[in-house]
Structure 1
Amino acid sequence: MNRYISLLRDEPLLRRLSLIQLIAYFAAWFSNVAIYTLLIELNVSASIIAMTAALHFLPGVLQAPFSGVLIDKIAPKRLMALLMVLEIVATLPLMLVDNVSLLWLLFLLVFIRMGASSFYFTLEMSLLPRILNDEKLKQANEIHSVIWSFSYTFGMAVSGFVVYIVGVKIAFLLDALLFTVAFFLLMTLLFPETKLKESSGFFRMFKESFTYLKNEPHIKHLIFLHAFVGFTAFDALVALMVERYYAQAVAVALGIGLLHSLRAVGLVFGPILIGKWVNNRSLVYLLFYQALSIIVWALVIENFYLSLLASVFVGFATTTLWSYTYTLLQHHTDKAYYGRVVAYNDMMFLLTVAVVSLGIGFLVEAGVSLSVITMLLGSSFAAAALYFIWIKNNFNIRETAFEDDKISPELEL
């Protein structure tokens, strides 16, 4: 924890970006419980719930080939401001959705909102390696992953209680207000005024990125490795668990909120306790741990209290896996391609999450139990561990921090 505090104290730009990130990401997920609660109240099918979960991630997949080039060409502050405005505009109309006939509006707003959110995320992740050296980058990614995980799960946890107390419409209004606060914090932030390098045309940069990936195959494999973390996207699974097993014991919104809040405990404290110990060797063991914890969760999934306890252990390694695999990719990527490579990485990650979400709905509709589905999700991490062993044996995968490898800020902010 002290190393995170020291980094934030020494890097004022990172400190402010982290605060904005905390508010914006928290807001991005705050209304999710309201959305899933609304869908359950409207008595929609499991496939509709799974489709809604997938829509949270599909925009990032579709825009990635273009967003990466834009990030490498345009100063980030302008893009950040525009993306936050889009999130505000796409959040307030959610208050109008009150019957099944307006599901199309909900789908459209979720698509726009999460498209802006994923673009913002990619933008910030490509910005960090431009302003920090490798050692600080690893810690910054850990901070970022803690904030993202905390916002992702604790945002939905808090929303569960808010929805239970004040209802879905007020939750959507509060969500928009959070985005507004983040927007004004961003507009008052002073970025360093450095000159933007001359860059190629849009389509040439687009083509160059594919040539780069072809010539650097280990980058592709690191992208695929990071995508495995997408198998921990449990939004649809948790909503269906509450509806099927726990609805008699607890209100829907509270059940969803409690499950996410307990997982948030593991997500937040995991990297604090084990983040500094993870390296290329221990990553294999961490992947096997993730597989085992999810499989154990599957075995107790029908018991609400045991499921809550298992959720803590399920989340314990997730944040560290996310941040370390992301840092590996950044560390092995040429700085001229940060925006594009990070965008493609996020595309694969979000595509995995979307496919997993849709797959959960498909399997449930086909009659597969939630316990078996959860075991399949856990088994994917055993496959990821074996995959990383293969990557290490076939490519020169370096550790993530070298004191003599410095990165200087060269992008106009």
Structure 2
Amino acid sequence: MSITLKPYIDLVRTNADYRRLWLAQIIANFGDWFGILAIYALIQEYSGSELLLGLIIVVKMLSLASFSPIAGYFTDRFNRRKLMIWCNIARGVIVLGFILITSADLLWLAYVLISAQMSFAAIFEPAKTSSIPNVTTSEELVVANILSAASWSIIFTTGMALGGFATAWLGTDLVFMINGFTYMISTFIIYRASIPQAKMSKRELYRTRNPLTGIREGLNYTFNNKHVLRPTLAKGIFTMCLGALVYLLIIVAEDILMMGSIGLGILYAARGVGTGIGPVVGRRIFKSENRWVMGMGIFMICGGLMYSVVSLVESVLIMSLFVMLAHMASGSNWVMSTVLLQRRAPDTLRGRVFSLEWLLFTLAQSLSVTMAALILEFELLSIRQTMGLFSVMLIIAGIAWLNVVAPAEEKYTVSEKKMAVSGHP
């Protein structure tokens, strides 16, 4: 085990700038996941509506989506380190506003605040992801992304689990205060980091002075370069079904397991463990990056199969096991698509490429959750049947990916090999 962990330990020990970026990420992530259950608890306490609970997730995702295009433009044009600092400060102030929600009449404020919080997250996330290749070597890049995903999963696991207990025992106000404090700590750590960044030329800065021009250039680049477009689509297609399945875990914990926040904390903890283990296992199965796009389709099928089992069982332990397995597949898909984009997109366009990826991801998740919430609200299907439906849809998406997207990637890798042999750039 020490041999397996050595590359990750060495990266954190020897690369100070990556270490600071990594620590800032996991501290802010802990606060986010620690606080999210408190938001869910407010919705359930003051409304008890499954539709309103789903709506908070939709508003969260749509806010990310609507701000993503301009966010990518900002992260390519301006200093990413400074952007991350200001975004953290803003989010730290915003989350304290949830304390003001003390009755059903003020519940609308939760949607306004989550929207504002996610607007700044839409800038922070592509800025952070685009910065990883700039603080690591080419050899460190895969290890850095696997470590980031594993750390996210550990923080997700502990944050959700502790957040569930804290919400039940300490109350939501204290949870929101802790969430705000984590953003301040994250800000201080990023402030101490040095994050290099390729700057746009004066000609490029002038040409893209109109944000719409800059956004359009990013879109044109991505859609005209299919080897970049394919990994850009991977997360969105996966979450088109997975988003609904993760949302349904909230309802399963409440109405089937009858365990409330504690049950949800357990299921989400299993999700986090799977997300952390998955990329390590996935890299062992698909050792060549040339096979990663094909692997994404296989992971979609695996995720759908695992959630189909979750839809049938009664035990929280068995549910947790198959949720973990499903998100091992999801975590592998996430890291592989991220690394391919970091390698294939140039630095001055990387922010816009990742913002487009976030746009597709958040729109897909919003649509997915909305569909599931409406199905339950109008009692078209039971909870288990709805989960089964989205599981089957995910399996179909994986089969389609293997038959349409994977063959195009195979042609690209063959072409790359021929150019390498011939010596052409």
- TM above 0.5, yes or no, is yes
The one-letter code sitting in structure 2 at the alignment partner of 1:160 is G
Query: For residues 20 and 134 of structure 2, what CA distance do their matches in structure 1 show?
Result: 16
Query: For residues 348 and 214 of structure 1, what CA distance do their matches in structure 2 show?
Result: 13
Per-residue deviation, 1:398? 4.0
Aligned to 2:104: 100
What is the correspondence of 1:249-328 to structure 2 with a 5 Å cutoff? 250=259, 252-278=260-286, 279-280=291-292, 281-300=294-313, 302-328=314-340
Aligned to 2:365: 353
Query: For residues 46 and 11 of structure 1, what CA distance do their matches in structure 2 show?
Result: 46
Per-residue deviation, 1:196? 6.1
- Give the direction of change, closer, same or farther, for the CA distance of 1:190–1:336 in structure 2 (3 Å limit): closer
Task: Kindly indicate whether the alpha-carbon contact (under 8 Å) linking 2:134 and 2:197 is maintained by their aligned counterparts in 1.
Answer: no
What is the correspondence of 1:359-398 to structure 2 with a 5 Å cutoff? 359-367=371-379, 368-389=381-402, 390-395=404-409, 396-398=411-413
Task: Kindly indicate whether the alpha-carbon contact (under 8 Å) linking 1:228 and 1:380 is maintained by their aligned counterparts in 2.
Answer: no
- Give the direction of change, closer, same or farther, for the CA distance of 1:195–1:43 in structure 2 (3 Å limit): closer
TM-score normalised by structure 1 residue count: 0.88
Per-residue deviation, 1:101? 0.7
Task: Kindly indicate whether the alpha-carbon contact (under 8 Å) linking 2:68 and 2:359 is maintained by their aligned counterparts in 1.
Answer: yes
Query: For residues 291 and 253 of structure 1, what CA distance do their matches in structure 2 show?
Result: 25
What RMSD, in angstroms, separates the aligned Cα atoms of the two structures? Answer: 2.5
Task: Kindly indicate whether the alpha-carbon contact (under 8 Å) linking 1:65 and 1:340 is maintained by their aligned counterparts in 2.
Answer: yes
- Give the direction of change, closer, same or farther, for the CA distance of 1:335–1:103 in structure 2 (3 Å limit): same
The one-letter code sitting in structure 1 at the alignment partner of 2:350 is Y
Task: Name stretches of at least 5 consecutive residues in structure 2 with no aligned partner.
Answer: 421-425
Q: Does 1:84 align with 2:95?
A: no
Task: Kindly indicate whether the alpha-carbon contact (under 8 Å) linking 2:75 and 2:123 is maintained by their aligned counterparts in 1.
Answer: no
Per-residue deviation, 1:298? 1.2
Aligned to 2:341: 329
Q: Which has the higher contact order (CA 8 A, sep 6+)?
A: 1
Task: Kindly indicate whether the alpha-carbon contact (under 8 Å) linking 1:164 and 1:253 is maintained by their aligned counterparts in 2.
Answer: yes
Q: Which has the higher helix share?
A: 2
Aligned to 2:256: 245
Per-residue deviation, 1:193? 8.6
Task: Kindly indicate whether the alpha-carbon contact (under 8 Å) linking 2:157 and 2:273 is maintained by their aligned counterparts in 1.
Answer: no
Task: Kindly indicate whether the alpha-carbon contact (under 8 Å) linking 2:218 and 2:352 is maintained by their aligned counterparts in 1.
Answer: yes
TM-score normalised by structure 2 residue count: 0.86
The one-letter code sitting in structure 1 at the alignment partner of 2:275 is L
Per-residue deviation, 1:152? 3.7
What is the correspondence of 1:18-97 to structure 2 with a 5 Å cutoff? 18-97=22-101
Per-residue deviation, 1:119? 2.0
Task: Kindly indicate whether the alpha-carbon contact (under 8 Å) linking 2:94 and 2:117 is maintained by their aligned counterparts in 1.
Answer: yes
| Cα offsets for 1:242-295 (capped at 9, x unmatched) | 221122xx3x22121111112222222222344343343544433322221111
The one-letter code sitting in structure 1 at the alignment partner of 2:242 is T
Query: For residues 398 and 142 of structure 1, what CA distance do their matches in structure 2 show?
Result: 23
Aligned to 2:209: 202
Query: For residues 254 and 304 of structure 1, what CA distance do their matches in structure 2 show?
Result: 11
Aligned to 1:408: none
Per-residue deviation, 1:73? 0.7
- Give the direction of change, closer, same or farther, for the CA distance of 1:377–1:139 in structure 2 (3 Å limit): farther
Residue aligned with 2:48, SS: coil
Aligned to 1:146: 150
Residue aligned with 1:57, SS: helix
Per-residue deviation, 1:163? 1.1
| Cα offsets for 1:104-129 (capped at 9, x unmatched) | 11111111112222321111111223
Task: Kindly indicate whether the alpha-carbon contact (under 8 Å) linking 2:98 and 2:176 is maintained by their aligned counterparts in 1.
Answer: yes
Query: For residues 380 and 118 of structure 1, what CA distance do their matches in structure 2 show?
Result: 28
The one-letter code sitting in structure 1 at the alignment partner of 2:257 is Y
Task: Kindly indicate whether the alpha-carbon contact (under 8 Å) linking 2:231 and 2:341 is maintained by their aligned counterparts in 1.
Answer: yes
Task: Kindly indicate whether the alpha-carbon contact (under 8 Å) linking 2:31 and 2:179 is maintained by their aligned counterparts in 1.
Answer: yes
The one-letter code sitting in structure 2 at the alignment partner of 1:128 is I
Query: For residues 102 and 246 of structure 1, what CA distance do their matches in structure 2 show?
Result: 30
